[in-house]
Structure 1
Amino acid sequence: MSLKLCLQHMLLVHLLFCFTQITTARVSAIIVFGDSSVDTGNNNQLQTMAKSNFEPYGRDFIGGKPTGRFCNGRLATDFISEAFGLPPIIPAYLDPTFTIQNFSTGVSFASAASGYDNVTADVLSVIPLWKQMEYFKDYRRKLIAFQGLTKGSKTLKNALYVMSLGTNDFLENYYTTPRRYRQQPVDQYENFLVGIAEKFIIKLYRFGARKIDLTGLPPMGCLPLERATNFFSASNCNEDYNFVANQFNIKLQNLVTKLNRQLLGLKLVYADVYTPFAKVVNDPISYGFDNGERGCCATGLFEMGYICNTRNPFTCIDANKYVFWDAFHPTERMYSIVADHLMKTSLGAFL
């Protein structure tokens, strides 16, 4: 590791250590499951094409460090952690440079390109949701060993558990591979995914989780990649995909209502990310953005991962003017807007 990278990592660890010592937040930790919207670097340790641990990713992150976040900077969960008085970054569980002390106030088990459906994770050989649960169980044992049974159990009970996934199940699996859409219509596939979400939440509850955030889908038909491949719509957005996202979100909301009634002491909330994304994408100028249709990286139409790299001369100078960083993922500034929206709505219940 170069001296520059060593110094950058030392700075990150120092920030985590300092916040670990002083936090008195009602939420003890942020524990994250999901896909690239919340993966803070777990895929760095995998043999997969779904990686972003290289420039220009991370160019606006602390120290200009590409961490494996599919963004120019921090993710919404990083901002949410900070808003709860916890460290300003959430480390990836598979990052060998962090310890259980760092993870005691926040950890991400998420894996870019993953989803509820195991088949989704298989597409690019990433970490399926069931494996993320296995990592959590390992983390749980280590945390109790580190903090002791009483304090460790309290940390786990008072932690906020964030689930953010589902987009890949539709865009990288159902609509692009024949395995699922030949088996069942999209409405049945939605029910299949909601069933997986329900079982996962119940399992978390049995492990002591009481504060859980279930994040809905964004208007996935308006992602730059979907716009670029949707030639027959005047708005460019794929409204069929947006309709599916809305329908799926309604089913997630119904699941939240159901489980709050069934599981004693559970505080499960639905996080609406569709609304802020739709508002900004439909009127980016009002939110200080110049562009809500293309990503900053390269042409902003098709590039993400390895195709978004420093050799491409078209990457924008100021990512703050763009809603999207690459053809699939938001910029740090957009993530901060989403985090602010959630803190003022669903997540405000935990303040």
Structure 2
Amino acid sequence: MAYNIYTPWGCFLIQILILFAKSSAKVPAVIVFGDSSVDSGNNNQIPTIARSNFQPYGRDFLGGVATGRFSNGRISPDFISEAFGLKPTIPAYLDPMYDISDFATGVCFASAGTGYDNATSDVLNVIPLWKEVEYYKDYQTKLRAYAGSKKANEILREALYLISIGTNDFLENYYALLERRMQFTPQQYQDFLVGLAQNFIKELHSLGARKISLTGLPPMGCLPLERTNNILEDNGCMEGYNILALEFNGKLKTLVSKMNKELPGLQLVSANAYDIFLHIIRKPSVYGFEVTEQGCCGTGRFEMGSLCDLYNRFTCTDANKYVFWDSFHPSQKTSQIISNHLVKNYLAKFL
């Protein structure tokens, strides 16, 4: 099976990549921008309800700590960092437990609930993408003071930049609120977001970034929360949302090709997580999963964030049987499978 990398052979290949990375790593750091799919705890430090720094989140993390990751354990950037021979977890930039010595080999600026559109970050009062860039500029200043300008510039140039964002723009903003729907058709909103993505990547490039991975939308119509809302179709996937995600991802892929031609030295990769994620959802038993329609936490149909807490007696005992951890986010096991796939098929060129 082409996508089944969660097998002894698939895991062996990833281990070979990890060993190769450790022996001749070309990436000195992993730098992360985005939303809850990659936020390792920045939202813990801001006044928002979009948090997950409480149990049972993190119950399978190292030491059973709820770090602010929207998962029972590690998330994709953590696994990607490890695959590149770096540390097994990427710290959040706003976490006071860490300093520039920790951030020098990997740092996360992502904020759960944010999007390309500034209006999306306003919904839950989280960090907008422009502010993530401001934190990155601050990080550059600290890194140069810590490592010296020459070494810092080398780290910034050779680092792998991971971008995972966009789902909230549609599900939390466009389809949940009226303002953007009154201004744009779905296709026009896609084009609006692609324009914002282009500006964001241009700015990162102007700040020295060269190796960038851009992940588009997941099959968001199959998220348990969307299935719960799809009562008229027996709680099946909302295929209209999946079609929209494919359309948007196609436009991002076109953008990637365009920007690689226009920006000197840029190595921008369209890291397609949609196909592997959908395959896991459609064929869960191939990967050792038993449940895909609902998450592990609570009933798994609508709970996430504060609704997914330690007192919810319906939470499952083994998250490894579940594709999703809560109604919106993948389990640690799913994140590992997807990350392995991305490293093997899209990011290996940077090893």
Is TM (by shorter chain) over 0.5?
yes
Between the aligned partners of 2:176 and 2:182, the Cα distance in structure 1 is: 11
Amino acid at match of 2:60: D
Please give the secondary structure, in 2, of the residue aligned with 1:119: helix
How many Å separate the matches in 2 of 1:261 and 1:89? 33
Counterpart CA distance in 2 for 1:248 and 1:205 is 22
Whether 1:126 and 2:126 are equivalent positions in the alignment is yes
The aligned residue for residue 266 of structure 1 is 266
Structure 1 runs (4+) deviating above 4 angstroms are none
State whether residues 36 and 70 of structure 1, in contact with CA within 8 Å, keep that contact through their aligned partners in structure 2: yes
Tell me which residue corresponds to 1:347: 347
Unaligned runs of 5+ in 1: 1-21
TM-score by length of structure 1 reads 0.93
Q: C-alpha deviations, 1:140-189, integer Å up to 9, x for none?
A: 11001100011000000000111100000000000000010111101000
One-letter amino acid of the structure 1 residue matched with residue 172 of structure 2: E
| Residue type of the alignment partner of 2:200 | F
Instruction: Look up the equivalent residue of 1:48 and give its one-letter code.
Output: T
| Equivalent pair of 2:229/2:235 in contact (CA under 8 Å) | no
Unaligned runs of 5+ in 2: 1-21
Quote the residue 2:200 is aligned against. 200
* Cα distance in 2, alignment partners of residues 225 and 122 from structure 1: 21
TM-aligned CA distance change 1:23 to 1:135, over 3 Å? farther
- Structure 1 residue 285, shift from structure 2 partner: 1.1
Q: Could you say what the CA RMSD is over the residues aligned between the two structures, in angstroms?
A: 1.0
Tell me how far apart the structure 2 counterparts of residues 32 and 139 of structure 1 sit (CA, whole Å).
Answer: 12
Return closer, same or farther for 1:62/1:229 CA change in 2, 3 Å cut-off. same
Q: What residue is the counterpart of 1:294 in the other structure?
A: 294
Q: After the TM superposition, which residues 272-351 of structure 1 pair with which residues of structure 2 at under 5 Å, given as runs?
A: 272-351=272-351
Tell me the SS of whatever aligns to 1:338: helix
- 2: CA distance between counterparts of 1:23 and 1:154? 19
- 1:144 equivalent in structure 2: 144
Please report the TM-score for the alignment, with normalisation by the length of structure 2. 0.93
Partner in structure 1 of residue 91 of structure 2? 91
Please give the alpha-carbon distance, in whole angstroms, between the structure 1 residues aligned to 2:312 and 2:111: 26
| Secondary structure of the corresponding residue to residue 161 of structure 1 | strand
How is 1:169-184 mapped onto 2 (pairs within 5 angstroms)? 169-184=169-184
Partners of 1:50 and 1:305 within 8 A in 2: yes
Displacement of 1:24: 5.7
Equivalent residues in 2 for 1:238-277 (5 A)?
238-277=238-277
**In structure 2, what residue type is equivalent to 1:309?**
D
Letter in 1 for 2:181: Y
**What is the match of residue 47 of structure 1?**
47
- CA distance, structure 1, for counterparts of residue 40 and residue 336 of structure 2: 15
**Equivalent residue number for residue 237 of structure 1:** 237
Q: Counterpart of 1:296 in structure 2: which amino acid?
A: C
Name the % identity: 58
CA distance in 2, matches of 1:264, 1:310: 50
State the secondary structure of the residue aligned to 2:154.
Answer: helix
Q: Deviations over 1:45-101 (max 9, x none)?
A: 011110000000000000000000000000011000000000000000000110101
Instruction: Please tell me whether the aligned partners of residues 23 and 86 of structure 1 are also in contact (alpha carbons under 8 angstroms).
Output: no
CA offset digits 1:272-308 (Å, max 9, x no partner) = 1101111010011111000011000000000000000
Q: Aligned-pair distance for 1:348?
A: 1.3
TM-superposed CA distance for 1:232, in Å, is: 1.8
TM-superposed CA distance for 1:349, in Å, is: 1.5
Instruction: Give the match for residue 15 of structure 1.
Output: none
The answer to whether the 8 A contact 2:228-2:235 is kept is: no
Asked if residue 157 in structure 1 is aligned to residue 157 in structure 2, the reply is: yes
Secondary structure of the equivalent of 2:316? coil
Secondary structure, aligned partner of 1:232:
helix
Q: Which residue of 1 aligns with 2:77?
A: 77
User: Which fold has the larger relative contact order, with Cα–Cα distance below 8 Å and residues 6 or more apart in sequence?
Assistant: 2
Write the deviation string for residues 3-41 of structure 1: whole angstroms up to 9, x where unpaired. Answer: xxxxxxxxxxxxxxxxxxx88621110000000000000
